[in-house]
A and B are shown apart, each in its own frame.
Chain A
Amino acid sequence: MNLILTNAGSYPRIGDSPELQVLRQTLARFDRGEATEADIRRAEDEMVRRAIAEQIEAGLDVVTDGQIRWYDPISHLAGKLQGTTINGLLRYFDTNFYFRQPVIVGRLVRERPILLEEYRYARSVSSRPVKPVLTGPYTLAVFSLVERGEYRDLERRVEDYATALAAEVAELAAAGAELIQVDEPAIVLEDAAFDLFAAGIRALVEAKGAARLALYISFGDVSTRYARLQELPVDVLGLDFTYSPQLVERIAVEGSAKALGLGLIDGRNTKLEPEAEVAAALERLLPAIRSDVAYLNPSTGLEFLPRDRAFRKLRHLVTIGMRFKS
């Protein structure tokens, strides 16, 4: 079993020292009319480079671009499609982070690539493989407001978001991404429509070409949906263990036909979990995975932590993970 150490998405875009404030300051200057779009782009580039460098320094095998350019997990994608406008703030699950809700006002159409250039840039500044991350069609659909018309039907929203995102996935795969992560946290919501969610995922899988598709689910307990998630045609299933005290045992007993992304390290609290606890969980989980690979990653992206703590979390993850590397 090859245990791959990776990040689950975002990385802090700010830190306490002046050179880590460059993006914040450039955006503020832009608001005052004192900076250009190109200035923002340069500041983003710099923070992407730093995010990648820190992930590599921490010892990760596979990194992300830290989603530095994302205003939030929803509007960065939904807001860039034709047919949407951006509305007020809404809390992102049970985090202390707020996103802007897209409003669907016309036909949802992807006019141009959204993530491709971001991925290319990240790859050009990384010595380790870069995993592009995108939010899935079901989650975008659930968090979109609809003013009128056909999109009142959730199924129509999922379908059209899936079409747009499938094009993203196809481009990322063609550009060389070996592993693509799709986040679908909305499936943890109580009233989630599993079939619609699954249809959206299938559309993305069909577009993945030679890439492996990793479905990641955070912010809730998916123990009761575990068996159905296993039936999806994804290559990797990423799970947030911080909400699900029973999940380790369930997987140990039921096994996993897929590679798993093990979100055993809490991406949202500064406290470093006791090494022995995480190791005990890994000892139960790894033998149950019927795949030649598994991923160890934080339970969520790391933007919920201050930068120094995010780095410390990754170091902690690597320290524990190294004991299980074959």
Chain B
Amino acid sequence: MSREKLRALGIELPLLPTTAVGSFPKPEELQRARAQWARGLISREELERLERRATEFWIRTQEELGIDVLVDGEQYRGDMVTYFAENMRGFEIGGLVRSYGNRYYRKPIIVSEVRWERPITVSWWRFAQRLTTRPVKGMLTGPYTVMDWSFNEYYPDRRATCLALAREIRKEVEALIEAGARIIQIDEPALSVRPSELGLAREAMQIVTEGLPAYFISHACYGAFEKIYPDMLALPVDNFDLEMSNSNLDLLEHFKRVPFTKDLSFGVVDVHSHVIEDVETVLARIRQGLEVVPTEALWIDPDCGLKTRTVEEAIAKLRVIVEAVTRVRAALA
């Protein structure tokens, strides 16, 4: 059981640990500062000062709300793939591409051999962890997703690209562990894109995590998981963090047929809706989750990163989660 692994790593968590998936909205002053920085109106130092302030705000907010396993909120990132591409060698940052609706991102272009040169997320993880006694997750994007979300002008094929990235991303995981991180989340939202490539994603994750002393979580969202379940359970991580509510908990039906054998971080609020779920709704979702996954194995969080919500909406959604979990814990006690 993964709880034993956590204990061995020195981490004790309550039943139904609450967490967040990664990103939080950037406060308005930081959004403005990013725009000003992009136009050369303020210095890098000034921007970083505001990024630190926003990170501190989110750490305090999560503590006050009573979240158990914290995230730094990714206040310093534009996007989950571009950020890593900007900080590794071999990438060129391309122009804007639409991801959905009115949302766009800068899709990186791999133009030469990819190389990890220095720690990317470590100083932010350290900064966040020093602000709190609760565990802060190390947060990375996995090799399969970085491959799938980049144009490739250098490697012969997807496999060569993915495995090269895996070898480099492992160095970032090692650096996080060296700094003291014990819970590390490696996001693979592209996991279900091509079911025939699940073996490649697994092989890449193996390269990233093999033999390393950390509790590994992998987040995935908005895909056709029914096509890769239960095969996805072969991914060498301890916990899958899955978007569930945006798809009416459809996945639970699959977990009823073939048991879910890892810990599950269960998305109980939809991050793409302005509507704040009421506690009853979230309670009902948690109860449905408990029917299918052992209590010891269940974590509770939002479907995905909350960065597309307003600060107020994000906090309100986290508050509902904590309130619902508190009630379930009381009922279980």
Contacts and interface: CB of A to CB of B under 8 A. Distances in A.
Given A24-B104, A89-B246, A269 B152 contact: yes
Q: Give the most central of B97, B194, B247: most A CB within 10 Å.
A: B97
A28 B35 CA distance: 15
Interface in A68-122: 71-72, 88-91, 94, 96-100
A271 B223 CA distance: 27
B152 A91 contact: no
Interface residues of B, number: 29
B153 A270 contact: yes
B100 A270 contact: no
Interface stretch (A8-16, A127-135, A169-177, A282-290): A8-16
A98 B104 CA distance: 11
Given A96-B107, A97-B100, A270 B193 contact: no
Q: Give the most central of A15, A304, A306: most B CB within 10 Å.
A: A306
Contacts of B151: 269-271
B317 to A, nearest CB: 15
Interface string B143-156: 00000110111000
Q: Give the most central of B95, B107, B193, B272: most A CB within 10 Å.
A: B95
Contacts of A99: 100
A16 B192 CA distance: 31
Given A88-B272, A89-B272, A90-B222, A98 B100 contact: yes
Contacts of A97: 98-100
A308 interface: yes
A307 interface: yes
A12 B97 CA distance: 8
Interface in B173-194: 190, 192-194
A110 B224 CA distance: 29
A315 interface: no
Q: Size class of A's contact patch? A: 20 to 34
Interface in B247-300: 247, 270, 272
A98 B223 CA distance: 9
Contacts of B96: 12, 14-16, 306-307
A14 B105 CA distance: 11
A27 interface: yes
Question: Mostly helix, strand, loop or mixed at chain A's interface?
Answer: loop
B109 A88 contact: no
Contacts of B246: 88-89
Q: Give the most central of A28, A88, A303: most B CB within 10 Å.
A: A88
A309 B194 CA distance: 25
Given A14-B104, A270-B109, A270-B151, A98 B99 contact: yes
B94 interface: yes
B133 interface: no
Contacts of B109: 270
Contacts of A89: 100, 222, 246, 272
A180 B290 CA distance: 51
A307 B104 CA distance: 12
B14 interface: no
A304 B102 CA distance: 14
B101 interface: yes
A13 B222 contact: no
Nearest to A304: B97
Given A90-B224, A96-B107, A305 B272 contact: no
Given A94-B193, A96-B149, A270-B153, A307 B95 contact: yes
A27 B107 CA distance: 21
B100 A88 contact: no
B15 to A, nearest CB: 29
A90 B272 CA distance: 12
Contacts of A13: 98
B222 A303 contact: no
Given A89-B272, A91-B192, A271-B152, A306 B107 contact: yes
Nearest to B274: A31
A68 to B, nearest CB: 11
A98 B152 CA distance: 21
A91 B304 CA distance: 15
B243 to A, nearest CB: 9
B98 to A, nearest CB: 6
Interface in B228-254: 246-247
A88 B152 contact: no
Contact of A88 (B106, B193, B270): B270
B97 A96 contact: yes
A17 B3 CA distance: 51
B97 A305 contact: yes
24 contacts: A16-B95, A16-B96, A24-B102, A28-B102, A72-B100, A88-B247, A88-B272, A89-B222, A91-B223, A94-B193, A94-B194, A96-B97, A96-B99, A96-B148, A96-B149, A96-B190, A97-B98, A270-B151, A304-B97, A306-B94, A306-B96, A306-B107, A307-B95, A309-B94
Interface of B: 94-102, 104, 106-107, 109, 148-149, 151-153, 190, 192-194, 222-224, 246-247, 270, 272
Given A16-B96, A306-B94, 7 more contacts: A15-B95, A88-B246, A90-B222, A90-B223, A91-B222, A100-B100, A271-B152
